[in-house]
């Protein structure tokens, strides 16, 4: 008997049109495969279909009856707010990131007695605005969340309600650089003539973004897709990585290398297809982005202020190490002195990567334990350099390179004559390569790369100011976000959202959201869901 490995099977699927692929499997072959996907006729177990449907409901934003739960979440967060509870409870919230602060705000508005326990010495979670390293120019930089799609209506609604001002985030600029295999072009040069780089890979003149979009859109999944369409797609294809899917779409290794270099995807090719399909369906090239004026931490500051104003208590340096729910109420052990807090209900909002260090008694369900042990949290590292004068043209935009920095991001609205540049923004294995270096070495290497790209004017303008932040090395994050590996959306995702200990413990955080994972939207959505799980309802008009 001959054993064919899964990876080889995908390669065999692509070989049938390899002659055409090397020169130009771009549009026609991808379109022809629209209804002939690999494994399209494989029998799918009913249990998998059931779980896929749960994930599809989470993506679309409906419950099992078809009711619009996102409308309910919007009512809690940006509408009339929560209905006052008939029986106020003692509720502990573990973690003071966006989901923790939003949960505390809603629960306190409902009249519950709320106490937030945050392990670190700050609140905000993976929203972290850096200011002190850039005092020379008065600028700031975002170690974490830095942009918000206007299609994220919970986030934009909360910003309006809290009167947090925004302005456009400029992702594109014609003079930014695309660099691959020694070829360096401006963005406009590449957009107008992609052959200059495609030729290096032996490919027809197709733009990397167009190639990727066609491959992803060949699944016929869009922002208008309903539960049935998403459930069928997930049941059949959630086990695939992005690389698997591209090979199945009859792209070759040359195409994949080309996409990795020009779209900054090399390190993320092994991640879940579902993760990339979310982006293709809901965050296409025309999506408008905004940033928060004066720093993203204005959002968490306002959330914290409003939670306090509603009656919640916030405590930092209070890491929760144990949650015990054996005797009706729930006891939390926290802080360096192992202090204890009793509560009727608990909302756990810290990343699942940190829950591995927390003890639960009685034990959590098998599904939750598996999610805590296996859910993939990706790495991301940013290195920032401060410049006294702007040597770059215009505002905003990104460089994409196959060199170590991978992506450089220029400020959309720099302060004064200079500004802070994200000299390197990397993910996954690319980020881990930077994590091996101390911050000052990261800064020096980034300065060298920018100087090689733009000339000595870069080095002359540098103030000496820099910062670097690795979320994989962050004690209170242990990763930049929960990003699914192949199969995890269906196999693990539903269990991240269930309550535990007879409904007394709810879980929130962007990692528990399918559609909003790695975005502020997912943190807010999950907070509203967790509060709903604990009985919070929306006030009627």
Q: Is 146 annotated as a binding residue?
A: yes
In angstroms, rounded to a whole number, what is the distance separating the alpha carbons of residues 27 and 23? 12
Interatomic CA distance for residues 312 and 105, integer angstroms: 7
Q: Hey, what long-range contacts does 64-67 have (CB within 8 A, 24 or more apart)?
A: 66/227
At which residue do the structure tokens 């993760």 appear?
A: 275
> Closest Cα partner for 344 from 529, 93, 538, 524?
93
| Calpha distance 528→385 (Å, rounded) | 37
Q: What are phi and psi of 229, to 5 degrees?
A: -65, -45
In the chain, the N- to C-terminal Cα span, in Å, equals 68
| 536 class by beta-carbon count within 10 Å (0-12 exposed, 13-18 middle, 19+ buried) | buried
| Spatial CA neighbour of 24 closest among 194, 182, 190, 178 | 194
Is-contact 394 173, C-beta < 8 A?
A: yes
CA 468 to chain centre: 19
Cα dist. 25→36, 253, 316, 489 in Å? 16, 12, 55, 30
Q: Which of 312, 292, 287 is nearest to 158 (CA)?
A: 292
Angle at 419 between CA 413 and CA 425, to 5 degrees: 90
- Residue 130: beta bridge partners? 141
Answer yes or no: is 147 a known binding residue: yes
The stretches of 162-226 forming alpha helices (DSSP H) are 187-192, 195-198, 208-217
Provide the H-helix boundaries in 348-438.
352-355, 366-374, 428-435
For residue 144, say whether it is annotated as part of any ligand binding site: yes
Alpha helices in 37-172 (DSSP H): 46-60, 69-78, 98-109, 153-161
CA distance 351 to 477: 6
Phi/psi zone of residue 194: left (φ > 0), alpha (ψ -120 to 50 degrees), beta?
Answer: alpha
358 marked ligand binding residue: no
What's the Cα-to-Cα distance from 348 to each of 91, 134, 267, 490, rounded to whole Å?
A: 11, 34, 31, 22
Are 373 and 482 contacting, i.e. CB atoms less than 8 angstroms apart? Answer: no
DSSP state of 286: T
Give one word for 495, left, alpha or beta, with left for phi > 0 and alpha for psi -120 to 50: alpha
The single-letter DSSP state of residue 12 is H
Cite the annotated binding site by residue number: 99, 144-147, 320
Cite the annotated binding site for FAD by residue number: 99, 144-147, 320
Cite the annotated binding site for substrate by residue number: 147
């Amino acid at each position: 008997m001959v054993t064919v490995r899964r990876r080889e099977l995908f390669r065999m699927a692509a070989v049938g049109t390899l002659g055409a692929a090397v020169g130009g499997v771009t549009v026609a072959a991808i379109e022809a495969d629209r209804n002939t996907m690999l494994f399209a006729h494989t029998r799918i177990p009913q249990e998998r279909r059931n779980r896929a449907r749960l994930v599809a409901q989470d993506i679309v934003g409906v419950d099992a009856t078809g009711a619009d739960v996102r409308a309910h979440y919007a009512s809690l967060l940006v509408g009339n707010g929560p209905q006052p509870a008939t029986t106020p409870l003692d509720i502990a919230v573990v973690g003071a990131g966006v989901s923790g602060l939003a949960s505390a705000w809603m629960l306190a508005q409902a009249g519950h007695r709320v106490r937030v326990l945050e392990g670190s010495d700050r609140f905000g979670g993976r929203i972290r605005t850096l200011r002190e390293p850039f005092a020379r120019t008065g600028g700031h930089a975002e170690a974490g969340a830095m942009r918000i799609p206007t299609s994220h209506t919970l986030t934009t609604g909360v910003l309006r309600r809290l009167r947090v001002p925004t302005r456009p985030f400029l992702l594109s600029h014609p003079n930014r650089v695309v660099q691959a295999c020694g070829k360096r072009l401006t963005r406009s040069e590449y957009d107008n003539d992609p052959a200059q780089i495609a030729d290096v890979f032996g490919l027809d003149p197709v733009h990397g973004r167009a190639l990727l979009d066609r491959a992803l859109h060949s699944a016929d999944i869009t922002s208008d897709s309903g539960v049935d369409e998403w459930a069928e797609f997930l049941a059949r294809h959630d086990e695939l990585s992005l690389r698997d899917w591209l090979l199945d779409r009859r792209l070759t290794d040359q195409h994949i290398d080309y996409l990795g270099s020009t779209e900054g995807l090399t390190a993320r090719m092994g991640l879940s297809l579902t993760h990339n399909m979310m982006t293709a369906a809901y965050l296409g090239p025309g999506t408008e982005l905004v940033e928060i004026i004066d720093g993203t931490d204005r959002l968490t500051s306002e959330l914290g202020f409003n939670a306090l104003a509603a009656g919640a208590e916030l405590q930092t340096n209070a890491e929760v190490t144990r949650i015990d729910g054996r005797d009706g109420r729930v006891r939390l052990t926290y802080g360096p002195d192992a202090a204890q807090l009793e509560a009727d209900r608990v909302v756990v909002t810290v990343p699942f990567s940190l829950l591995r260090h927390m003890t639960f008694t009685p034990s959590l369900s098998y599904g939750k334990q598996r999610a805590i042990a296996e859910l993939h949290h990706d790495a991301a590292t940013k290195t920032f350099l401060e410049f006294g004068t702007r040597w770059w043209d215009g505002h905003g935009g990104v460089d994409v390179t196959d060199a170590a920095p991978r992506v450089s991001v220029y400020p959309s609205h720099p302060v004064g004559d200079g500004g802070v540049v994200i000299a390197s923004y990397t993910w996954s294995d690319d980020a881990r390569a930077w994590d091996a270096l101390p911050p000052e070495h990261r800064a020096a290497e980034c300065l060298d790369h920018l100087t090689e790209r733009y000339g000595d004017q870069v080095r002359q303008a540098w103030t000496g100011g820099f910062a670097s932040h690795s979320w994989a090395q962050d004690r209170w994050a242990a990763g930049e976000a929960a990003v699914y590996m192949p199969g995890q959306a269906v196999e693990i995702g539903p269990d991240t959202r269930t309550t535990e200990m007879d409904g007394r413990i709810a879980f929130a955080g962007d990692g528990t959201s399918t559609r909003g994972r790695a975005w502020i939207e997912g943190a807010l959505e999950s907070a509203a869901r967790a509060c709903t799980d604990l009985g919070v309802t929306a006030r009627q008009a």
